[in-house]
Amino acid sequence: MPTNVSPEFDRQRQVYEDTEDMAQRIVELEKLLSLAPRHKGAERMVGDYRKKLAVLKAKLEKKEEQERARRRGGSEEGVIRKEGAGQICLVGVTNSGKSSLINAVTNADFAVGEYPFTTTIPTPAMMTLEDINIQLVELPGIFEGSHEAGIGRQALSVARNTDCIAIIVDLSKDIESQMSVILSELDAARIRLNREKTAVRIERVGLGGLQVFGIQNFEGSKEEVLEYLKARKVSNIIVRFQKPATFQQLADAMDASVAYVRAMIVATKGDTNGSMERFEELESRYGGRFDIVPTSVARNENLDGMSWALYNHLDILRVYTKIPGKKKEDRPIVLPEGSIVEDAASKVHKELFVERFRAAVILRKDDKIKRRQVGLNYPLQDGDVLQLMTR
Ligand SMILES: Nc1nc2c(ncn2[C@@H]2O[C@H](COP(=O)(O)OP(=O)(O)OP(=O)(O)O)[C@@H](O)[C@H]2O)c(=O)[nH]1
Ligand SMILES: [Mg+2]
């Protein structure tokens, strides 16, 4: 049916059809609709344009949402898949010796260079410590404004989701200029370091489903937590109740805009001139806030000490299961600190085990009571040997 339209409407229709930019297209379409004839014969055409407008608006919202997520660092791009018992990100200015350090404690062979930005993307390697593997990730050198630049933003989004940040400080160069750029860039990326352990720690992960640890610290039940997470359409997450926590504290912890990450300082190039004095300066300024470990790759000094310090900052514990009459398992179950027998049991056999659980016996070397019979709520310690008994 031919629709009688005004010449203004016709002109505007041409403008709308020629406009490519989505936001502008919406503006032009709204204007077009305001010029549309009101009579009955035009209803169908107006209806079609209204539908187009709704679709355009939905697309624009979606696009803006994705851009916001990218700015927040929530996109998949540049994310390193976590492997091993924990992940540690090395964050420092360029040339501070990050690759050399990783090469010294892993089988990796990262390029080492005197020139800046040898490492340009987040790069992982695996460090074996006794019976567990810890993933070390070198992030490209941090510089002023890196939280706004492409590679810097990508690096900081990895740092946001990591288990621990190792701040790398080069003892052959000025301390304060390194620390100030590192701390201010992390802060600008809304990453908070070593804040008092929060009651609830949230870790967003790529897979693994909904995992809840330390439920005895929560005022409600595990089912309640799972329902809440499902209602928020979260499909992969780790929730750790590290201290007595209320429902409100759980909700606050779910706010993704600020990340709380454990951190320590690794000082490198302890063999260079003036490194002693700079280490003392580092200690006096930052020793209160961070544990600081000096190293030298050139002299192969304190690399073991550094590795264990990193392990301690992961806040994890190792538990070895054992069948009565047999040797304990060689490979530990790794759990967050604060975990209880139930957490270990559900890692062994998922739900089934918890249901059939009768009792557990914990064997501790340095304990007065060598064999402790305990229930599902009993807190675990690093090195515990655990016998689980089922009905
Ligand atoms: N004297 C001394 N020099 C070191 C030590 N560790 C690393 N270096 C030197 O420091 C320079 C930079 O080392 P890298 O390991 O490439 O540093 P990086 O932090 O990975 O650097 P980018 O990836 O380029 O940001 C190289 O010339 C190394 O030889 C050390 O323990 N002592
Ligand atoms: Mg490097």
Distance 170 CA to ligand 1 centre (A): 9
Which atom, in ligand 1's list, is nearest to the CA of 116? Answer: 24
What lies within 8 Å, CB to CB, of 330 at 6+ separation is 131, 320
- 87-96, 250-259, 366-375: which is most confident: 87-96
The ligand that comes nearest to the alpha carbon of residue 113 is: 1
pLDDT tens-digit profile of 49-77?
A: 988 888 787 778 777 767 766 665 444 44
Residue 196 has pLDDT above 80, yes or no: no
Q: What is residue 60's predicted lDDT score, i.e. its pLDDT? A: 81
The ligand that comes nearest to the alpha carbon of residue 168 is: 1
Of residues 159 and 203, more confidence is placed in 159
Q: What is residue 253's predicted lDDT score, i.e. its pLDDT? A: 82
Q: What is residue 77's predicted lDDT score, i.e. its pLDDT? A: 47
Mean pLDDT for the chain overall: 88
Distance 102 CA to ligand 2 centre (A): 9
List, in sequence order, every beta strand (DSSP E) within the chain: 87-92, 123-129, 132-138, 164-170, 191-193, 200-204, 210-213, 237-241, 259-268, 292-294, 316-321, 333-336, 357-363, 371-374, 384-390
Residue 1 has pLDDT above 60, yes or no: no
Q: What is residue 391's predicted lDDT score, i.e. its pLDDT? A: 77
* Atom 3 of ligand 1, nearest CA residue: 269
* Atom 7 of ligand 1, nearest CA residue: 97
Q: What is residue 165's predicted lDDT score, i.e. its pLDDT? A: 97
Residues 139, 120: Cα–Cα separation, whole Å: 8
Distance 162 CA to ligand 1 centre (A): 23
Residues 93, 91: Cα–Cα separation, whole Å: 7
pLDDT tens-digit profile of 141-162?
A: 999 998 888 778 888 889 988 9
- CB-defined site of ligand 1, < 6 Å: 92, 94-100, 112-114, 116-119, 141, 268-269, 271-272, 296-298
Q: Is 357 helix (H, G, I), strand (E, B) or coil?
A: strand
* Atom 25 of ligand 1, nearest CA residue: 94
Which atom, in ligand 1's list, is nearest to the CA of 117? Answer: 24
pTM: 0.73
* Atom 5 of ligand 1, nearest CA residue: 269
* Atom 16 of ligand 1, nearest CA residue: 112
pLDDT tens-digit profile of 349-376?
A: 765 667 778 889 999 887 788 788 998 8
